[in-house]
């Protein structure tokens, strides 16, 4: 306890330096916490599970995938056609509708990106939405029922709703951008829970499909995308063996001759979606994160080096009083470890609660991920980062205190 009190007194000697050093630690730990959270989330999304497999069926030879909607039911059944064939436990279709609520001012605040699907599948097949706590789950179920009763209903993420300057109950027209000349009149019936789907929307697939039928009846010809509306089909199976059998059934089915289809695990599909961000993520992982850790160690090293140079006489006095070289060394390192550990812990724990509870995640859109939660590991990351970088940054200046010679110090004073 006496040793700890001495460390605390030393830190209080130069309050400004201690505050500046701890602030630098907190800022850098904040940044590294955000980076590791994003990378950790994407790593999990691209890692195959040993059970509860999800697969993605897409068009085989074209990007973006555009399949006829007639494929939907057969794919939902897993193309089962022989005794012994397997079927998915669950499935969902995705049709993408991209539009704007203001044709005269197309921009971020008028943009709408929607998944067109069966509303009920939000509760059983959408990642994170299928495992909500009771409160948010009840709210989402209420919105899903409203969509099922009103196929013009739409569920919109909270941030997108704010950008559009709309609220639940409002009606609006979404002017199609990928479906040119196809406009959808919708009513906002609910919002997604804060987090991953903050900037996404969900429209009833039956409304999109019926609008395409109305377009044909009105114009006398089919919409150019009428036979290419199905973008993805998700299927869920219990394990890898079932997935392999299902994949064989689908790829060998004569029903999917033109266009041909392929099936891949959800992790592989997400990896393909993230291919365009490969260079950015590589920089995050192998350049930015290590650079921040090195910078953190340098910041602490500079602060401790300055302190050691200023206190050479004091350390000589400590040796005269009977402190061993190792005790002086650990006194200096203790200051760095205490400062770095506490500052790092405050930063990462504060980041966890501020970002997750206050912001609903890290607002950093990548592919179809609009935000990322701060990892639970952040509750201990900060302290660990602070302690390790403090140790590495302070070991050289602290080691130099062992070589301080009492005679040399006091001869210069004399």
266 assigned to some structural domain: no
Least confident segment among 33-47, 88-102, 220-234, 266-280: 266-280
Domains: count for the chain: 2
For residue 213, CA distances in Å to 187, 209, 223, 226 come to 20, 6, 9, 9
Q: Which two tokens stand for residue 161?
A: 């709703």
221 assigned to some structural domain: yes
- Strand ranges in 137-277 using DSSP code E only, listed in sequence order: 153-156, 171-176, 183-191, 201-204, 232-237, 261-265
pLDDT of 2 above 80: no
d(CA 237, CA 217): 39
268 assigned to some structural domain: no
Give residues with Cβ within 8 angstroms of 261, minimum separation 6: 57, 58, 59, 60, 67, 71, 75, 250, 251
pLDDT, tens digit, 9 for 90 and up, residues 106-117: 898 999 999 999
384 assigned to some structural domain: yes
Question: Are residues 77 and 160 both part of a single domain?
Answer: yes
The span from the first CA to the last CA of the chain, in angstroms, equals 35
143 assigned to some structural domain: yes
Question: Are residues 296 and 230 both part of a single domain?
Answer: no
Beta bridge partners, 187, equal: 153, 171
Q: Which of 259, 287, 307 is the last residue of a domain?
A: 259
324 assigned to some structural domain: yes
269 assigned to some structural domain: no
Question: Are residues 248 and 120 both part of a single domain?
Answer: yes
Question: Are residues 68 and 35 both part of a single domain?
Answer: no
- Per DSSP, the three-state class of 64 is coil
pLDDT of 398 above 80: yes
Question: Are residues 329 and 190 both part of a single domain?
Answer: no
Beta-strand pair 153-156/171-176: unpaired
Residue 319 pLDDT grade (very low, low, confident, very high; cuts 50, 70, 90): confident
What percent of the chain stands above pLDDT 70?
96
Question: Are residues 112 and 35 both part of a single domain?
Answer: no
DSSP symbols for 127-152: TTGGG--HHHHHHHHHHHHHHHH-TT
For the purposes of burial, counting CB atoms within 10 Å of the CB of 377, is it exposed (0-12), middle (13-18) or buried (19 or more)?
Answer: middle
For residue 172, CA distances in Å to 158, 175, 209, 241, 291 come to 16, 10, 19, 46, 47
Question: Are residues 253 and 109 both part of a single domain?
Answer: yes
Question: Are residues 39 and 185 both part of a single domain?
Answer: no
CA 344 to chain centre: 21
Question: Are residues 312 and 374 both part of a single domain?
Answer: yes
52 assigned to some structural domain: no
Question: Are residues 42 and 121 both part of a single domain?
Answer: no
Q: Which of 228, 259, 290 is the last residue of a domain?
A: 259
Domain range for residue 238?
62-259
For residue 53, CA distances in Å to 240, 327, 405 come to 7, 57, 67
pLDDT at 361: 83
Question: Are residues 368 and 253 both part of a single domain?
Answer: no
Q: Which of 230, 259, 288 is the last residue of a domain?
A: 259
Omega cis (within 30) before 273: no
Report the pLDDT averaged over residues 327-341.
91
Residue with tokens 């340098």: 298
Question: Are residues 251 and 291 both part of a single domain?
Answer: no
pLDDT, tens digit, 9 for 90 and up, residues 223-244: 999 999 999 999 999 988 999 9
- Are the C-beta atoms of residues 203 and 210 closer than 8 Å to each other? no
């Amino acid at each position: 306890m006496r040793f700890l009190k001495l460390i605390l007194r030393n830190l209080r000697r130069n309050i400004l330096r201690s505050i500046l050093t701890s602030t630098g630690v907190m800022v850098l730990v904040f940044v590294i916490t955000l980076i590791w959270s994003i990378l950790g989330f994407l790593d999990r999304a691209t890692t195959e599970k040993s059970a509860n497999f999800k697969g993605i069926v897409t068009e085989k030879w074209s990007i973006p995938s555009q399949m006829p909607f007639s494929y939907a039911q057969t794919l939902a059944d897993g193309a089962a056609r022989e005794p012994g064939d397997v079927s998915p436990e669950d499935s969902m279709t995705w049709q993408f509708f991209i539009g704007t609520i203001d044709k005269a001012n197309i921009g971020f605040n008028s943009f709408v990106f929607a998944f067109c699907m069966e509303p009920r599948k939000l509760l059983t097949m959408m990642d994170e939405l299928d495992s909500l706590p009771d409160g948010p789950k009840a709210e989402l179920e209420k919105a899903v029922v409203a969509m099922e009763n009103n196929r013009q209903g739409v569920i919109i993420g909270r941030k997108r709703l704010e950008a559009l300057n709309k609220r639940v109950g409002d009606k609006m027209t979404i002017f199609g951008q990928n479906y040119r000349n196809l406009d959808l009149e919708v009513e906002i019936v609910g919002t997604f829970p804060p987090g991953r789907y903050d900037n996404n929307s969900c429209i009833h697939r039956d409304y999109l499909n019926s609008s395409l039928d109305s377009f044909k009846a009105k114009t006398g010809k089919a919409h150019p995308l009428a036979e290419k509306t199905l973008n993805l089909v998700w299927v869920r199976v219990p394990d890898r063996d079932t997935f392999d059998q299902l994949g064989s059934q689908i790829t060998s089915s004569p029903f999917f001759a033109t266009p041909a289809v392929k099936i891949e695990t959800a992790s592989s599909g997400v990896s393909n979606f993230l291919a365009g961000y490969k260079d950015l993520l590589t920089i995050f992982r192998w350049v930015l994160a290590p650079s921040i850790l090195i910078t953190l160690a340098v910041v602490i090293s500079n602060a401790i080096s300055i302190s050691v140079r200023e206190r050479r006489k004091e350390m000589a006095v400590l040796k005269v009083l009977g402190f061993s070289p190792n005790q002086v060394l650990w006194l200096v390192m203790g200051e760095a470890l205490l400062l770095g550990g506490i500052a790092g812990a405050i930063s990462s724990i504060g980041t966890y609660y501020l970002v997750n509870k206050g912001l609903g995640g890290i607002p950093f859109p990548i592919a179809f991920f609009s935000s990322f939660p701060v990892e639970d590991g952040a509750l201990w990351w900060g302290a660990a980062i602070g302690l390790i970088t403090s140790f590495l940054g302070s070991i050289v200046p602290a080691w130099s205190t062992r070589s301080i010679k009492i005679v040399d110090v006091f001869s210069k004073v004399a």
